[in-house]
Structure 1
């Protein structure tokens, strides 16, 4: 029973509480840290619910701090329709410390033109260790 409780507490610690999002027309996404260990080079799961026409790929970047001034990395994935981006598909160092984190996604056309940008700001509650 204790291991179940520990796993539940760990899952809660890894789930950020969404505190706001900014999206341009046609691009929106959600972030889930469920099952992702803190301080690892493994991105969370992204659920992309809308993409603008002409999207060929998405660029994700993670920043921390109230002003989003510390970059944690990011990466680009091929995606032309809404769906799920699996955990670990985007390079970056996930949250280690409690605080405010911002994931930014940019929809890119085949030639790399930015079509839309969306942000998800979340609060990471702290390590599960």
Structure 2
């Protein structure tokens, strides 16, 4: 008797596990802003997991998922394979929702060159203020 669940489980043992490119961050150290007037600040620290092979640069962009038309900016940093990007690696416009809680999402694009060569994309989101 054919059992699809067991068959799928058996196949998964044969294929190597794919590692997903992931990022993580916190708002630790960011001065509270709830006026709606975002200020230019230094970037948070990022933890990088399973960056694609050949990653030499990572491009970061911040989007307010509640107001996606607002340009928070981001930056491109050289990546040394250490699994971290230190705080202050670039400047961007801070989260600063007007007396509300918004969800913000960082997108990190792994690149082989400073201005291109896309290898993978990772996203991480958090509310602000938390």
Q: What is aligned with 2:42?
A: 42
In structure 1, list runs of 5 or more residues that go unmatched: 1-23
TM-score by length of 1: 0.69
Alignment partner of 1:36: what SS?
coil
Decide which structure has greater strand share: 1
RMSD: 2.2
Q: What is aligned with 1:17?
A: none
Q: Kindly state the Cα deviation for residue 104 of structure 1 after the two structures are TM-superposed.
A: 0.4
Aligned equivalents of 1:29, 1:65: Cα separation in 2: 17
Aligned equivalents of 1:92, 1:48: Cα separation in 2: 19
In structure 2, list runs of 5 or more residues that go unmatched: 1-17, 33-38
Is the 8 Å Cα contact of residues 59 and 77 (structure 1) preserved in structure 2?
yes
| Cα deviations by residue, 1:60-104 (Å, 9 ceiling, x for unpaired) | 000113373322010011004142212221220111223111100
Higher radius of gyration, 1 or 2: 2
TM-score by length of 2: 0.69
Deviates more, 1:74-83 or 1:36-45: 36-45
Does residue 120 (structure 1) correspond to residue 124 (structure 2)? The answer is yes
Higher RCO structure (Cα 8 Å, ≥6 apart): 1
Aligned equivalents of 2:91, 2:41: Cα separation in 1: 6
